[in-house]
Amino acid sequence: MKRMLTLTKTQLLNLFFQSRSGKKSKIPPIVISCLVMFGLSLYYSWIFADMMETQAHAVPYMVSILGTVIIFMSGISGSQGMLFGFKDYDSLMALPVTERDIVTSKIVVYTFMQYLYSFFLVIPAMLIHGYRISASVFYYFRVILCFLPFPLLPMVLSALIGIAFQKLTAGKRYGKLLQNGLTIAFIALVYYFSFSFGASAGSGQPGMQVGGIAAFLPSAKWYVEGVINADIPKLLLLFGIGIAVYVLFILIYSRTIIRVTAQGMQGYHVANFRLKKVKRAGSLGALMRQEWQRYFNNFTYFLNTSMGMIVLMIMSIYVIFIDNPIKDLITELMIERGDVLAKIWQTFILAISCVGSMTCTTGVSISLEGKSLWILKSIPADVKEIFLAKIMVNVILIMVPSTLSLLGLGIAFHLPLLYYIVGIVMLAATALFISMLGLLINLRFPKLEFDREVVVIKQSLSAFLSIMIPMFLAVGIMILFFITNMEYFYWIMAFFIAADLILVFLLLKYGTERFRRLA
Amino acid sequence: MLQIENLVKSFDNKEILHGISLNVKDGEIFGFIGHNGAGKTTTIRCAVGIIPFESGKIQIDGRNILDDPIWCKSVTAFLPDNPDLYENLTGIQYLNFIADIFEMTAETRMDKITAIGRELEIYDSLGDQIKSLSHGMKQKVALISAFMHDPRLLVLDEPFVGLDPKASFIMKNKLRELCDNGGSVFFSSHVLEVVQNLCDEIAIIRQGSIIMNGKTEEILQSGESLEQIFLDTENIAS
């Protein structure tokens, strides 16, 4: 037990006090990120509470569902690297500690991270809700205390799926491809079921729909209903099942976790290798190919940046084939009211751009060079070309699914040609904006020292900023668009084009110099 | 081939290199030795354009690394002390990446990779993922990437660490072969015996300054081994 605690303490210290400069920072960067997230969550919870005032308890349900889904989805990718596949495997296994101690310490650290992610999303909304319904002091007590078992069930489920994926794919030549394919299929399945359940459970009323979805996510339902109604049986279920599942997971899966970690570290071998003639590529092509290989070989990187676009694409194609009253209503509205037609398709374009803003591979692409940065710095490739390769990959990653979504919505709602033309221009402008902004952020806050790539992708300041800044900017622009009666679409487009030009200038002037100074 | 003049480099206002000057001539193997933290790796990283420096001048084949970095890098190959390659790629994917960057034709790269790969006995493992390779095997992949584009200047940081005796022997021969063809080699090492036997010229660095530099036979003329000379310089300095 003592050794397990020592292991856990050391790993938490290593996680919290990682800094870019190598100097120990007084305030851990992760704490700053959490405080920012707490503030933003408070702000947005208040806004949503205002918007959904007529629907009782809609915000607590919404954040609990969102929290559960985030824990579940991020757990599938995050478990790799944090829970298993850890790089310190060799050094830990050589220590006089039991396998269970090692795994338990990893699980505790992993759990801690899941608490952090969900705490700053769920708790502010619950506090705001309590304030607005003038809840008693016991409500706040329940909010905090009952949060303890809240992430356990989705976390264990996602870890089990992560382990299953890892067992199926680790050490195989096309393992990563298979893993990515399985994940996409899994996400599609989850969304399909959530659409179906949401539609059938809610009788068309948004507030009830949220409650209906929660019925299929038991920990979210038990937490919200237990806390708000002081429903003791539900709270007992939340604690009992959450803790039981968690303990059983540690007891049963310790050995499996060690095994899949060892399996995953081996890489793959090819028997009877024969050199084949390959077509020569230019240096830009070679740099881009290297970026693609890194992207598709890193499960967390892929999942973290592709999920939004995959979901959007699935939804846009789904819309073509479904019969839905809302779809019919929008179509009718566009036919009857020519004046709203443009506003509707402009909203579609902005919505696709907003989702695209969540795909920022450049935000960590410099950091991910890590100890291999010497390769890029010593090869005869221009820094601008290196930047271009990174930006192009990100732009393609946004543009391909965005364009398909644009097409899907265009076909579903019979939109005019202008929609496609303006849409492509807008998507290209925003894709370039996200990619260049991400690269600049990463050049400013690189994290080249790390033991696992997941630390860079999920926990670095650059990753946080390159996701949060575009996301909040996108949400802000959407809000601005709606409160100004959807009049300023072309001004928004002009803003992004102008911002792109500024970013090009900054990258050439400041970015290249910054890259040269990286070591 | 490689000229370093008055190189000054600082990290966080702490000066690490205090005006280093070295000259690696055409056809010469130049050994660079010093204790841990003396500034060998920093000098090398400045020389190949990985890190910037405050003042001084570095020229490769007459061209300034700051003014013409791409040209300088296109005639140079660099091998770091720890070959941190792209772990998720296979050996051959990495070599093709380097070959593309150096604009090698499909035929040339095939011939070179096959020849050097077989010579270093790594050919059969080139289809394996780099992360599955041992340190020495990674070093061999990195060696192929360094030699395959026929560099005129080869800069190596501790190149013999992790290599098996046969690979070390082959590498020494290849270094000599490169110099016989007019190229130059500049490398750092703690294996003083290799430096003594292989190098035409040697420099000793201590705490960021060159304390001894000259032709190997001139340095060894007292009859002492390089190890003894190196230890003497350390004792005098301390």
Residues B153-207: pLDDT tens digits? Answer: 999 998 888 788 888 888 888 899 999 988 999 999 888 888 888 898 999 898 8
Q: Is A378 in Cβ contact with B78 (below 8 Å)? A: yes
Chain A hits for B101, Cβ within 8 Å: 283, 286-287, 379-381
Q: How does the average pLDDT of chain A come out, rounded?
A: 83
Q: What is the mean pLDDT of residues B5-14?
A: 87
Question: Among B51, B52, B100, whose Cβ lies nearest the Cβ of A283?
Answer: B100
CB-based contact A11:A92 (threshold 8 Å)? no
User: Does A207 score more than 70 pLDDT?
Assistant: no
| pLDDT in the model for residue A78 | 74
User: How close A302 gets to chain B, by Cα (Å)?
Assistant: 14
Q: Is B123 in Cβ contact with A286 (below 8 Å)? A: no
pLDDT bin (cut points 50, 70, 90) of residue A200 is: low
pLDDT bin (cut points 50, 70, 90) of residue A315 is: confident
Chain B hits for A370, Cβ within 8 Å: 84
| Alpha-carbon A504 to chain mean position | 26
Amino acid occupying residue A287: L
| pLDDT in the model for residue A59 | 83
Q: What is the mean pLDDT of residues B40-49?
A: 90
Other Cβ atoms less than 10 A from the Cβ of A318: the count is: 16
Q: What is the mean pLDDT of residues A329-352?
A: 82
Q: Is A293 in Cβ contact with B88 (below 8 Å)? A: yes
Higher pLDDT residue, B192 or A94? Answer: B192
User: Does B49 score more than 80 pLDDT?
Assistant: yes
Write out B67-114 in H/E/C secondary structure. Answer: CCHHHHHHCEEEECCCCCCCCCCEHHHHHHHHHHHCCCCHHHHHHHHH
DSSP, collapsed to helix, strand or coil, labels residue A378 as helix
- What ipTM was predicted for this assembly? 0.83
User: Does A196 score more than 70 pLDDT?
Assistant: no
Residue count of chain B, please give it.
Answer: 238
User: How close A508 gets to chain B, by Cα (Å)?
Assistant: 16
User: Does B237 score more than 60 pLDDT?
Assistant: no
Q: What is the mean pLDDT of residues A483-501?
A: 88
CA distance B166 to A150: 59
Other Cβ atoms less than 10 A from the Cβ of A17: the count is: 15
**CA A44 → CA A59, A135, B45, B149, distances in Å?**
10, 20, 48, 57
Q: Is B84 in Cβ contact with A370 (below 8 Å)? A: yes
| Confidence (pTM) | 0.78
Is B168 in CB contact (< 8 Å) with chain A? no
Is A19 in CB contact (< 8 Å) with chain B? no
Interval A232-290: pLDDT, tens: 898 999 999 999 999 998 888 878 888 777 777 667 777 778 888 888 888 899 999 99
Q: What is the mean pLDDT of residues A360-381?
A: 92
Higher pLDDT residue, B233 or A448? Answer: A448
User: How close B110 gets to chain A, by Cα (Å)?
Assistant: 7
User: How close B117 gets to chain A, by Cα (Å)?
Assistant: 10
| pLDDT in the model for residue A206 | 45
Q: Which of residues 78-97 of B touch A (CB under 8 A)?
A: 78, 80, 82, 84-90, 92-93, 96-97
Q: Is B127 in Cβ contact with A270 (below 8 Å)? A: yes
Largest CA distance in chain B: 55
Q: How many CB pairs under 8 A join A and B?
A: 118
Range with the poorest average pLDDT among A83-87, A144-148, B49-53, B147-151: A83-87
Map out the domains of chain A as residue ranges: 2-266, 283-517
User: How close B135 gets to chain A, by Cα (Å)?
Assistant: 13
